Chains A and B, each alone.
Chain A
């Protein structure tokens, strides 16, 4: 690390570059992430066709120069639909993960800091959630609450809360009686302030890894739910639904209907998974393998 300087932020950037150079796959993941974010932000503006406009005279056309990913059974452009769907799928997973991050952090901090019966009750609650196969629980919740996008978000958030709560609880618990925490307390900070300002930030680096991995799971989960007909409804462009609709045409040889949305979905999840691995290398050099 010849670039290392005494300036703290400089050395952080240098460290990131150092890790990226040693791990080109992580660099690739960052590039992919940037392109997905671009699609989500500007998708509807850059696609060549209206994702909802049907044109039955042009139905089930294989990929061509005009329609890169072909057209579906109603003559809609698959490429436009795949790109436009990025925003919805990312929105669902980001809001679900944000929700479980916030709730999990609060529950985990409280249980880790004060311990006692609060901790015991929380642990049993989390055990109960974890006792269900998570996709099955999400399925049940969406079915019970009703078939809307918000409910997909709530269900996905709920099944991910235990991961955050457990992680924060462990990180807070080991620092509860650390020297710096006691010192902060002695100098007159309230418990809440010590917890929020001095202890909790230490849990953030491992949380970053968890968030990245979870974003991938959340997308898979949302797409899986809409695949079995829960949540997002047609004709809204969404990857899971598009694969489900395309599946009916695969047997008769129209492979492009299901292949492209499926590949896009896989690429998105792949990006977040690689990113999670890469972030682990950046934030926690000890765990580097």
Chain B
């Protein structure tokens, strides 16, 4: 048990310099953004003096290292500054919009897994067959599709041509009333309050953007499932199970898939990260009020507290997620170690 504890604390220790690096990078990045925030805050009728005054209030007249120390201090108090474009605290803005992005991402991963895992298993049972090649072409085509293009294509087919999808504008059509905020996830909130009409409305809005993202994320999951299944199927325990006369479906789903899931779960962590990145484009296409579209609006307005908050939130979310996955992994499979190799 102490060995396992050591492994975990070593892994946590490795995450600390990365988190520090993330803070430094996001600080530098946003200080380099064009445009002077003092001019924005001072307003349209600002004079030289009032701009200088605002600059002093914002602490922008200090040297960069001093600004950085102030910045880290604010961060530790959970203060990410104030957004210029919305006039709200960035932390509040992000907290309000994060559930929209997470709901979209998780739904996409759910759709993606429910297609990609069976595809990967199917391909692994007959490597080199026509099925295998088809599977490879399909997932490669999926990852080659630019998400913004898939989104537009789906809107054209399902909204314009067939008319079965709702208009691609946000999380809920205006005919429905927003569910009371409990978790911020519309599907969960609507289900808790028992408002099934709204639940269905929210689901309809969610299907197209989630499918767009799912197509893009299928490839790594299907490939990893296939590779992990191949190695599981060629292992000794499967041979033993076959020799013992177990049915092929019991071997496939009971033993091989069970063992192949671990690497697939690790891949999911990586996939989650680039889905968060791809979110930015999909949210723009579907006018989804998540943190991705917030970041684009902030970039356009040179709103540097908001951009910084977004980049930082994304990176920290990702570092912590990977940390959790690694720790969970080492709890499940004690053979895993994180020693420097």
A: residues with CB less than 8 A from B are 25, 120, 123-125, 127-128, 131-137, 139-141, 143-146, 216, 220, 223-224, 227-230, 240, 243-244, 246-247, 250-251, 253, 255, 258-259, 262, 265-267, 269-270, 273-274, 277, 289
Contacts and interface: CB of A to CB of B under 8 A. Distances in A.
B145 interface: yes
A224 B319 contact: no
Interface in B86-144: 127, 133, 136-137, 140-141, 143-144
A128 B19 CA distance: 7
Question: Helix, strand, loop or mixed for chain B's interface?
Answer: helix
Given A135-B281, A216-B144, A251-B160, 12 more contacts: A131-B315, A131-B318, A133-B315, A134-B277, A136-B280, A137-B311, A227-B281, A228-B280, A230-B299, A247-B285, A250-B152, A258-B152
20 contacts: A123-B340, A124-B18, A125-B21, A127-B14, A128-B17, A132-B22, A135-B278, A136-B280, A220-B144, A228-B296, A240-B146, A250-B155, A251-B155, A258-B149, A258-B152, A262-B152, A265-B149, A266-B145, A270-B144, A277-B136
Interface size class of B (residues with CB under 8 A): 35 or more
B253 interface: no
- Which 5 pairs across A and B sit closest by C-beta, in order of nearness? A128-B21, A135-B277, A133-B277, A262-B149, A270-B144
Contacts of A224: 146-148, 281
Most buried by B among A143, A146, A216, A265: A143
Contact of B146 (A125, A134, A146, A269): A269
Contacts of A220: 144, 146
A228 to B, nearest CB: 5
B230 interface: yes
Interface stretch (B24-32, B45-53, B59-67, B172-180): B24-32
A48 B128 CA distance: 43
A112 to B, nearest CB: 11
Interface string B314-336: 11001100000000000000000
B284 A228 contact: yes
Contacts of B273: 133
A259 B150 CA distance: 10
A240 B147 CA distance: 11
Contacts of B14: 127
B144 to A, nearest CB: 4
A120 to B, nearest CB: 7
B156 interface: yes
Nearest to B302: A143
Nearest to A265: B146
B320 to A, nearest CB: 10
Contacts of A145: 32
Given A262-B153, A265-B149, A127 B34 contact: no
